[in-house]
Structure 1
């Protein structure tokens, strides 16, 4: 069910759902002449949507979305993202070997694990073996989420996570060899990824509020940029991309611009993807991960 590797399009339309404590964010991407176009972007308010799904099911039925294939984005705490050295085994044996490598790092029985991986470029982590990001989730939890989707009347074709869903947006914006740091902001945490030439080299979570701990955020980004250059061996990071779109010159944006030697930009999704729904700032802020996950059916360039 996990499916993180970039593939050519398999569906003309894709519905992405992200469950939150107070509702569900959703986005429908329909390809038009091979280009992504958002037909629906919405946030459905509902307390504890995993146990109170009637409103969600009614929305999907009323908007004729029950026949659209679904990508479900897992929430924080429902998966682990681990960086390890890739075992030297044939491809058809890789998942079993990866599970053996991470069995002491995961928080549940390895026999009850769903696992997938994303390989890093060959030039990542010079002087070390080939590195790989492994995503692991508990089989019981995944089965529960799939049952929830079945109850909504929709069918899952993929399970995603925020860090990798965001690549559907950022890969095409980071084609230059010089590095780009992508900072995704949430109220109580943030995700930082480092890319070069459209490829992922580093992903890490910052487990505190980036808005309340501005100085710590700046320091962690600086450390990641230094690590990107000195340990991974890539050219200096020249751009910091902030998601979702921020309104005005916020304290965090000002601190980043004043303290880091990189161009700081806050991305407006309206500049990169067409949409039937006006992509208001508030809609981008709550639905950005769902939008990103819906773009996985765009054909790789």
Structure 2
């Protein structure tokens, strides 16, 4: 994405950079997690992150390795918009001046990429695209940090498609659509995935403490039911049968049990240990900080997947 294309080998590496943290993971043949590391710093100093990442890269014998950078939520904006009547390769450029007032970044400092949603709805006539937008200067600064740590950035991806990769690995029923609900700081999102494609991303009006809120489970139930109705009536997709939650929900056992009782669907935590070969199991709390780098390191090549790979 954003003009950076990633040619993957048998070993795929992905890295996420935050203001005070980084996560880096590698997967072999989409089956074995070779390593997954996370480090957090006390201060927002890019030089410290670069130095810490460089030490990790050296200890893992990754100097000069190619990697994909995955943007964490809040490091970009993802908009659902009507597709433009231009060739697909020109779509991102054509959207630039249509984003005025829709994004928080200056129009002269935009990195834009577009990926399509398969035709859906009545007679398949509704053509929609996701438009991913971030600051070009911020993007280049993150790439510079990785380069200072002796990594070669060959791809840039986003969190939603990294989660899509994990869900695709975990699905039992490929004929039905699926949902994944993530919680990252104050951002709670619901995504709808069908046949390895992302169809819907909704930001839910809930915060980090929704699991402890006595009415949190009822609110979540309502949002899921609304999304299921939208899948059936507007997207014309098969009804979701599996609903995944990211590891941040690992303490919310009664919360998840309530949803399973009310919805009569499979409610699952995305536990990396169940879907990848790991030498030492990773705790669910630790997984939350690493989940996007792990998902970004999965190197699927979905059929007819142009525009929906996180690269």
After TM superposition, the score normalised by the length of structure 2 is 0.84
2:202 aligned partner = 204
Q: CA 1:10–1:290 in structure 2 vs 1: closer, same or farther (change >3 Å)?
A: closer
Out of 238-247 and 86-95, give the one that drifted further. Answer: 238-247
Structure 1 residue 22, shift from structure 2 partner: 4.8
1:136 to 117, 130, 133: 133
Out of 157-166 and 254-263, give the one that drifted further. Answer: 254-263
SS, match of residue 81 in structure 1: strand
**Aligned residue runs from structure 1 range 1-301, under 5 A:** 2=2, 10-20=8-18, 22-31=20-29, 35-47=30-42, 48=44, 50-53=46-49, 54-124=51-121, 129-174=126-171, 176-206=174-204, 208-209=207-208, 210-213=210-213, 214=216, 215-244=218-247, 247=250, 250-295=253-298, 297-300=299-302
Q: Distance in 2 between matches of 1:4 and 1:200?
A: 20
Q: Distance in 2 between matches of 1:240 and 1:280?
A: 21
Structure 1 residue 12, shift from structure 2 partner: 2.8
Q: Distance in 1 between matches of 2:3 and 2:287?
A: 24
Q: CA 1:232–1:125 in structure 2 vs 1: closer, same or farther (change >3 Å)?
A: farther
Out of 50-59 and 110-119, give the one that drifted further. Answer: 50-59
2:307 aligned partner = none
Q: Is the 1:27–1:291 Cα contact (8 Å) retained in structure 2?
A: yes
Structure 1 residue 87, shift from structure 2 partner: 0.7
Q: Is the 1:4–1:118 Cα contact (8 Å) retained in structure 2?
A: no
Structure 1 residue 191, shift from structure 2 partner: 2.1
Q: Distance in 1 between matches of 2:251 and 2:116?
A: 37
Q: Is the 1:245–1:268 Cα contact (8 Å) retained in structure 2?
A: no
Structure 1 residue 3, shift from structure 2 partner: 6.4
SS, match of residue 134 in structure 2: strand
Structure 1 residue 287, shift from structure 2 partner: 1.2
Q: Distance in 2 between matches of 1:49 and 1:29?
A: 29
Structure 1 residue 225, shift from structure 2 partner: 1.4
After TM superposition, the score normalised by the length of structure 1 is 0.86
Unaligned runs of 5+ in 2: 304-311
Q: Distance in 2 between matches of 1:111 and 1:122?
A: 32
Q: CA 1:19–1:218 in structure 2 vs 1: closer, same or farther (change >3 Å)?
A: farther
Q: Is the 1:173–1:198 Cα contact (8 Å) retained in structure 2?
A: no
Q: What does the per-residue CA deviation read over 1:18-59, in whole Å, with 9 as the maximum and x for residues that have no partner?
A: 23455322211233xxx4321111222322363422222212
Q: Distance in 1 between matches of 2:64 and 2:53?
A: 15
Q: Is the 2:71–2:156 Cα contact (8 Å) retained in structure 1?
A: yes
Q: CA 1:218–1:21 in structure 2 vs 1: closer, same or farther (change >3 Å)?
A: farther
